[in-house]
A and B are shown apart, each in its own frame.
Chain A
Amino acid sequence: MTDLLDILANPAFWVAVLRIATPLILGTLGVLLCERAGVLNLGIEGIMVAGAFTGWLAVYAGAPLWAGVGVAALTGMVFGLLHAFLTVGLALSQHVSGLGITLLATALSYFGYRVSFPKVNTPPTITPFAPMDWLPLPILNAQTSLTLFALLLVPAIAWVLYRTPLGLALRMVGENPQAAESQGVSVAGTRTGAIVAGSALMGMAGSFLTLSAFNAFFFNMVNGRGWICVALVVFASWRPGKALLGALLFAFFDALQLRLQQSGDAVLPYQIYLMLPYLLSILALVLVARKASYPQALMKPYRKGER
Chain B
Amino acid sequence: MRLERRHETSRAALVLAPVGAVLFTMLVSALLVLWAGAPVGRTYALLLQGGFGSVFAWSETLTRAIPLILTGLAATVAFKARLFNIGAEGQLFAGALAAVVVGGMHGGTGFELQPWLLFPLMMLAAAVAGALLLLGPALMKNKLGVDEVVTTLLINFIVLLGVSALLDGPMKDPTAMGWPQSVSLQPDLELGKLIEQARVHTGLLWAAALAVIVWAIFKYTVLGFDIRAVGANARAAEFAGVPVTRTVVMVALLSGALAGLAGAIEVAGRTSYVTLDMSPGYGYTGIVIAMLAGLHPLGVIAAGVFVAGVLVGADTMSRAVGVPTYIADVIVAASLIAVLVAMLLTQYRVRLK
Q: Which residues of A does B touch, CB under 8 Å? A: 42, 82, 86, 89-93, 95-97, 99-101, 103-104, 106-108, 110-111, 114-115, 118, 188, 224, 227-228, 230-231, 234, 269, 271-272, 274-275, 278-279, 281-282, 285-286, 289-290, 292, 294, 303-305
Contact = CB atoms under 8 A, between A and B. Distances in A.
A48 to B, nearest CB: 14
Given A107-B330, A289-B145, 15 more contacts: A90-B3, A90-B344, A92-B344, A95-B149, A97-B337, A100-B340, A103-B332, A103-B333, A107-B333, A110-B324, A110-B326, A224-B153, A278-B157, A278-B161, A305-B2
Nearest to B141: A289
B154 interface: yes
B2 A227 contact: no
Interface size on B, as a range, is 35 or more
Nearest to A105: B333
Interface in B291-336: 291, 322, 324, 326-327, 329-330, 332-334, 336
B330 A111 contact: yes
B120 interface: no
Contacts of B93: none
Interface in B132-175: 140, 144-147, 149-151, 153-155, 157-158, 161-162, 164-165, 168-169
A95 B341 CA distance: 14
A285 B3 contact: no
Given A99-B287, A115-B324, A271-B161, A304 B2 contact: yes
A158 B54 CA distance: 61
A271 B3 contact: no
B291 A274 contact: no
A278 B90 CA distance: 13
B149 A111 contact: no
B254 interface: no
Contact of A230 (B150, B287, B332, B337): B150
B146 A111 contact: no
Contacts of B198: none
A279 B291 contact: no
B3 A303 contact: yes
